[in-house]
Structure 1
Amino acid sequence: MTNIRSEPDALRTLKARLEALNRSTGRRLEVSASECVDNAFAPLATGVLHDLYAATPADAVAVNAFGLGMASRASEGRPIVWVLHEMMSQEAGRPYGPGLHEMGLAPRDLMLVRARDIQTLLAVGEDALRSSAVGAVLLSAWGEAKALSLTASRRLALAAEIHGATLFLARSGADPCPSAAETRWSIGSCASEPLEAGAPGRPSFSATLLRRRGGGETGTWIMEWDREQRTFRPPAPLSGGLVPLAAQRSAAAPGVGTGTRERRAA
């Protein structure tokens, strides 16, 4: 994982590295337009912009992790550029190497750029989208910002469409607003199910599809991230029998009837 500061010299370094990725790739890889999160979930188009909103400010880590999972699937084995707003780092913490490893991301998979402000974040994201060697771009922003306007989203969506990379804009501490995104999601964290021998469970998310361009079905799904397969999957069903639901009981005292009939617990 490469960490680049968003200073003028660092931005020039970023552009040079993106150009080096282009030369090493040698050709532009086509991205399938029918990529899906999973057969059980809503389809996820590639080469477009997707908006991801944290359900609450406390879900900032969850929306970034979900964005990384989405980017990993959409990148088709090519590098991911993750541009992290400095305010996001202050509010939600900086990326943790072992945690990225648990997500199944190797250092060679990820180029990390820290942006001091939203304008820089947008500029770096647009530059990254222009590189045909980049498979996906994740922009992580904190708070409301005038720079994250409908016009800015249209510029990003156009860059993604022209150059074929998929862009995920993850926002925390902000309300959903109009944009040129193909889909809009609300992401929250969920308790994971422990694995065998009490090992920590897979990262689990509550993902609500709020809007899809052109209309279509929306809904909420519980998704687990499978690091071995690098995909989202439904949670595994609980083993063993289920405890039966308790019968409803009346709030009235025992023996007190309703009318002429006595109400009894089932």
Structure 2
Amino acid sequence: MRNETPERDQIAALRAQLATLEGPGGGRVRTTSETGVEFSPFSSDFQGLHDLYADSVADAVAVNAFGLGLALRTAAGRPIVWGLHDQMANEAGLPHGPGLQEMGVDPTGLLLVRVRDMKALLAVGEDALRSPAVGAVLLSAWGEAKALSLTASRRLALAAEAGGGALFLARAGAVPAPSAAETRWAIRAVASRPLEAGAPGHPSFLATLLRRRSGGGETKIWPMEWDRDHRSFRPPAPLSGGLVPLAAHRTAPAPGGRAGDRAGDSGPRRVA
């Protein structure tokens, strides 16, 4: 869905569409907090606000795909609201229907809202979190913005907590900053393992957990690939040819400088 009306009308339209999704018995199911237990993106149920940063501008597509995967896994068949900042769409490309289907996304269960203004993007997130019919929310933002402040993140975190939902804030062209998020990640695209007959492999990522609010300050990294059939992430299969894959739960070095300085940055690409 693309809406060309001003942001105020977009929010009103979003509320109307969310109202059509809501019905008796459509409330969210709260999960148990995992404070004090081993955390893993493969086994954890995500709740609250989670910050996802592209490791470089070349990883903008990857951070959106990773966020969409987490949203799809968390939604468990319920609708997903995806708020997309226009600048992110201009830099990283528009969502691609066949690509979304290859990830296992049902287009009828995805409500896409494009906005020009960061404040409107945050409003989309808050309104979506208030709807018990929404399974998960993904917001995609490009660059630094005053609107994406610590106060704004607290509002989103409180909205997620009140509604028992999950919101994934995917950002590219921005430096990780303090926020009220439960977790903070740096996401990088990595080469996938080819399938039989040289067919393209599964989407593959290197996810670095930079911070976990509920405990465990150690930075960790996980190599993973997306399993379309099970709509979940999984550890990559061992590589042949004597190459050793990066070990899961390996302690990562301290995060480096500003995102976007890596060589080989590419232009706009399609999302997913």
* TM norm. shorter chain > 0.5: yes
Counterpart check, 1:140 vs 2:124: no
Cα distance, 1:108 vs. partner?
1.6
Counterpart check, 1:46 vs 2:46: yes
For structure 1, which segment, 195-204 or 212-221, has the greater mean C-alpha deviation from structure 2 after superposition?
A: 212-221
Q: Deviations over 1:32-88 (max 9, x none)?
A: 2468xx986476453300000000011000000000000011112111100000000
**CA separation of 1:243/1:57 partners in 2, compared to 1, >3 Å: closer, same or farther?**
closer
Cα distance, 1:238 vs. partner?
2.5
Q: Partners in 1 of 2:101 and 2:54 — Cα distance?
A: 22
Q: Deviations over 1:220-249 (max 9, x none)?
A: 11110000000000111124x6389xxxxx
Secondary structure at the counterpart of residue 74 of structure 1: helix
Whether contact under 8 Å (2:136, 2:166) holds in the other structure is yes
Paired-residue identity, %: 64
Greater relative contact order, per chain length (Cα 8 Å cut-off, separation 6+): 2
Whether contact under 8 Å (1:4, 1:14) holds in the other structure is no
Cross-structure match for 1:184:
184
The letter of the residue matching 2:31 is: S
* 1:202-221 pair list within 5 angstroms: 202-216=202-216, 217-221=218-222
* 1:32-43 pair list within 5 angstroms: 32-33=31-32, 41=41
Q: Partners in 1 of 2:243 and 2:46 — Cα distance?
A: 43
Whether contact under 8 Å (2:207, 2:222) holds in the other structure is yes
Cross-structure match for 1:30:
29
Secondary structure at the counterpart of residue 233 of structure 2: strand
Q: Partners in 1 of 2:214 and 2:3 — Cα distance?
A: 37
**CA separation of 1:230/1:29 partners in 2, compared to 1, >3 Å: closer, same or farther?**
same
Q: Partners in 2 of 1:6 and 1:165 — Cα distance?
A: 28
* 1:147-162 pair list within 5 angstroms: 147-162=147-162
* 1:217-228 pair list within 5 angstroms: 217-228=218-229
Cross-structure match for 2:82:
82
**CA separation of 1:183/1:243 partners in 2, compared to 1, >3 Å: closer, same or farther?**
closer
Q: Partners in 1 of 2:114 and 2:5 — Cα distance?
A: 6
Tell me the TM-score normalised to structure 1 length.
0.84
Larger radius of gyration: 1
Whether contact under 8 Å (2:54, 2:186) holds in the other structure is yes
Secondary structure at the counterpart of residue 205 of structure 2: strand
**CA separation of 1:34/1:202 partners in 2, compared to 1, >3 Å: closer, same or farther?**
farther
Whether contact under 8 Å (1:75, 1:165) holds in the other structure is no
Secondary structure at the counterpart of residue 69 of structure 1: helix
Q: Partners in 2 of 1:11 and 1:40 — Cα distance?
A: 35
Cross-structure match for 1:252:
none
Cross-structure match for 1:93:
93
Paired residues in the alignment total: 239
Q: Partners in 2 of 1:198 and 1:56 — Cα distance?
A: 28
Secondary structure at the counterpart of residue 84 of structure 2: strand
Q: Deviations over 1:113-157 (max 9, x none)?
A: 001110110011101110000010000000000000000000000
Cross-structure match for 2:270:
none
Cα distance, 1:110 vs. partner?
0.7
Q: Partners in 2 of 1:242 and 1:60 — Cα distance?
A: 31
Q: Partners in 2 of 1:31 and 1:227 — Cα distance?
A: 25
Q: Deviations over 1:89-113 (max 9, x none)?
A: 1111111111111111011221000
Q: Unmatched 5+ residue regions in structure 2?
A: 245-272
**CA separation of 1:243/1:10 partners in 2, compared to 1, >3 Å: closer, same or farther?**
closer
Secondary structure at the counterpart of residue 154 of structure 1: helix
Q: Partners in 2 of 1:243 and 1:29 — Cα distance?
A: 44
Q: Unmatched 5+ residue regions in structure 1?
A: 245-266
Counterpart check, 1:62 vs 2:62: yes
Whether contact under 8 Å (1:54, 1:173) holds in the other structure is yes
The letter of the residue matching 2:234 is: R
* 1:119-138 pair list within 5 angstroms: 119-138=119-138
Q: Partners in 1 of 2:90 and 2:32 — Cα distance?
A: 36
Q: Partners in 2 of 1:108 and 1:33 — Cα distance?
A: 30
Cross-structure match for 2:250:
none
**CA separation of 1:93/1:41 partners in 2, compared to 1, >3 Å: closer, same or farther?**
closer
Cross-structure match for 2:165:
165
